């Protein structure tokens, strides 16, 4: 059993010595990599907990995981007061990108794109919450290249120039990019010089060709030639397998490539304390600190499990590794690492914050103040229900069985924070949750839960001894095929499951 899809990859990172080149001020704000270590998670690994852990251990600049432009353009920016984060939330309620104030001046947003205008729209969506924008032109995976992104861009210099110049002219934050080397040194140097002329603040170079993999030697000589050919900072990437096992190895790789900094992926994933000048910490301690961040910031358990499996590596077949593979929630992961008490304390604290925010919220726009509404403080958590089962479905089926008019939902959006509340009417009685939600769908599910629990009816949760046969019978035959798992890395899946849709242009730049 695998924790996550195979195409998820680990995270690159970079180190700059004191005498490294400095990034020139670009577009009114300079992003200096001098004396910095960079964590640059390349494909869906560097979520917020991993980035914060890297900062703890000495990283000064962190990259988010590569995020596809089409996916980001469907997102809405939401301020999460409970977690203290800014979330970019997809229509299916999945948090695609989560950041916080602590990393605001240190996190570089890395995107996968093949279109200049889409890239600019995404950059404008996130620029107030990040320190810089990076375009990944080095990913060799099919899900990226078949969309014209990643390493596919390397054969289209005109498109590269269009994307970079559009970003540089259109946003106030520094713009960087990451590439792989081409089939010949001459081709590679021509490309990087053209990228330099576009005006990027820095360029990261993975020292392998697009057909090469980590087991192939990294071409330090080519990175060195690039470093000597351009005046902008060059970030060397690809040394985890051959060079980087501890902090001192970062300098060795930097000297071998004459680069301004070193970007590593797997070494940072295997043990993020690789950034500590004092040396590596015991893996047990590192994993516990990572889990604490994962719980505090509600990181999805599949990604959390994947990162922990990367740290365990050769220990995956021992008793603890097998228990980790079997874990199906953050709570179960905490149990594996003897952190149940921490999980309970953290959960209680988050619940107190939720209640506190509800108490502080003024009631003059609260739809639940009607005296005839039965109210309950409940939320809908998809992880507590089997696939395709929701409280709304159970409520609708109960109404049909009792020959009642189907439930009617009245949902509003609160202007000051763009949260949603819903009231459901069943048999003339109104029901609602007192907790405001980040989407219309979640608010309606919460209202359905309030109704079902008041009436003492099952709502379909995993821990209920409930027969789902009637609900399953009503599904369209192809529903299982068309449904997209909201927690999978989704660019390739979305292309099959649904046509991408875009938010109105004015919504893309909204930052409140």
Active-site residues, by number, are: 139
Q: Alpha carbon of 248 to those of 12, 32, 253, 272, 273: distances in Å? A: 17, 22, 9, 14, 12
Number of alpha carbons in the 13 Å side-chain half-sphere of residue 212: 17
Q: Using CA atoms, how far apart are residues 75 and 78, in angstroms rounded to an integer?
A: 9
Residue 272 φ/ψ, nearest 5 degrees:
-60, -15
Q: For residue 75, what are its two tokens?
A: 């997102």
Number of H helices and E strands in the chain, helices first, is: 20, 17
Q: For residue 418, what are its two tokens?
A: 């763009």
Q: For residue 114, what are its two tokens?
A: 């093949």
Closest Cα to residue 135, out of 173, 100, 183?
173
Q: Using CA atoms, how far apart are residues 61 and 10, in angstroms rounded to an integer?
A: 17
Q: Using CA atoms, how far apart are residues 57 and 14, in angstroms rounded to an integer?
A: 13
Contact 185, 174 (CB under 8 A): no
Q: For residue 453, what are its two tokens?
A: 């629990």
Task: List Cβ neighbours of 230 (8 Å cut-off, separation of 6 or more).
Answer: 192, 193, 196, 203
Q: Using CA atoms, how far apart are residues 48 and 87, in angstroms rounded to an integer?
A: 11
Q: Using CA atoms, how far apart are residues 174 and 157, in angstroms rounded to an integer?
A: 20
Helix (H) or strand (E) holding 73: helix 69-73
Residue found by looking up tokens 């821990």 in the block: 463
Residue 495 φ/ψ, nearest 5 degrees:
-60, -30
Q: Alpha carbon of 78 to those of 120, 132, 179, 230, 442: distances in Å? A: 20, 20, 32, 40, 14
Contact 399, 406 (CB under 8 A): yes
Q: Are strands 85-89 and 37-39 parallel, antiparallel or unpaired?
A: unpaired
* Strands (DSSP E) found in 47-174: 61-63, 67-68, 76-80, 85-89, 95-100, 107-112, 132-137
């Amino acid at each position: 059993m695998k924790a996550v899809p195979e195409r998820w990859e680990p995270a690159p990172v970079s180190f700059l010595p004191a005498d490294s080149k400095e990034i020139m001020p670009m577009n009114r704000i300079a992003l200096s990599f001098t004396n910095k270590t960079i964590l640059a998670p390349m494909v869906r690994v560097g979520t917020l907990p991993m980035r914060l852990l890297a900062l703890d251990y000495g990283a000064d600049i962190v990259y988010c995981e590569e995020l596809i432009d089409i996916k980001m353009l469907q997102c809405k920016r939401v301020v999460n007061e409970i977690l203290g984060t800014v979330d970019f939330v997809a229509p299916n309620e999945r948090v695609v990108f989560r950041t916080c104030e602590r990393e605001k001046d240190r996190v570089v947003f890395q995107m996968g794109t093949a279109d200049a205008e889409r890239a600019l729209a995404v950059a404008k969506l996130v620029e107030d919450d990040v320190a810089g924008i990076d375009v990944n032109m080095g990913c060799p995976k099919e899900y990226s290249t078949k969309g014209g992104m990643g390493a596919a861009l390397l054969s289209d210099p005109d498109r590269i120039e269009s994307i970079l110049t559009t970003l540089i002219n259109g946003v106030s934050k520094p713009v960087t990019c990451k590439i792989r080397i081409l089939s010949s040194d001459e081709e590679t140097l021509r490309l990087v010089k053209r990228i330099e002329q576009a005006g990027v603040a820095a360029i990261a170079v993975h020292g392998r060709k697009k057909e090469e993999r980590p087991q192939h030697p990294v071409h330090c000589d080519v990175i060195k030639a690039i470093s000597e050919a351009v005046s902008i900072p060059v970030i060397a990437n690809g040394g985890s397998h051959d060079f980087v096992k501890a902090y001192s190895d970062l300098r060795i790789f930097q000297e071998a490539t004459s680069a301004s900094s070193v970007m590593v992926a797997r070494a940072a994933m295997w043990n993020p304390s690789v950034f500590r000048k004092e040396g590596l910490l015991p893996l047990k301690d590192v994993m516990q600190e990572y889990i604490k961040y994962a719980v505090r910031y509600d990181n999805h358990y599949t990604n959390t499990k994947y990162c922990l499996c990367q740290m365990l590596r050769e220990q995956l077949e021992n008793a603890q590794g097998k228990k980790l593979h079997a874990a199906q929630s953050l709570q179960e992961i905490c149990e594996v690492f003897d952190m149940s008490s921490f999980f309970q304390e953290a959960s209680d604290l988050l619940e107190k914050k939720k209640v506190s925010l509800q108490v502080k919220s003024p009631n003059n726009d609260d739809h639940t103040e009607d005296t005839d509404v039965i109210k309950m403080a409940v939320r809908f958590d998809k992880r507590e229900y089997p696939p395709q089962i929701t409280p709304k479905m159970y409520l609708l089926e109960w109404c049909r069985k009792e020959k009642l008019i189907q439930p009617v939902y009245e949902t509003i959006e609160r202007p000051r924070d763009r949260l949603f509340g819903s009231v459901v009417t069943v048999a003339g009685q109104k029901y609602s949750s007192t907790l405001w939600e980040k989407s219309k769908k979640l608010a309606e599910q919460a209202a359905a839960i309030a109704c079902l629990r008041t009436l003492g009816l099952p709502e379909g949760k995993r821990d209920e001894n409930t027969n789902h046969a009637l609900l399953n019978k009503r599904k369209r035959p192809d529903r299982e095929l068309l449904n997209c798992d909201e927690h999978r890395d989704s660019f390739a899946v979305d292309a099959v499951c649904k046509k991408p849709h875009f938010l109105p242009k004015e919504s893309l730049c909204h930052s409140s």
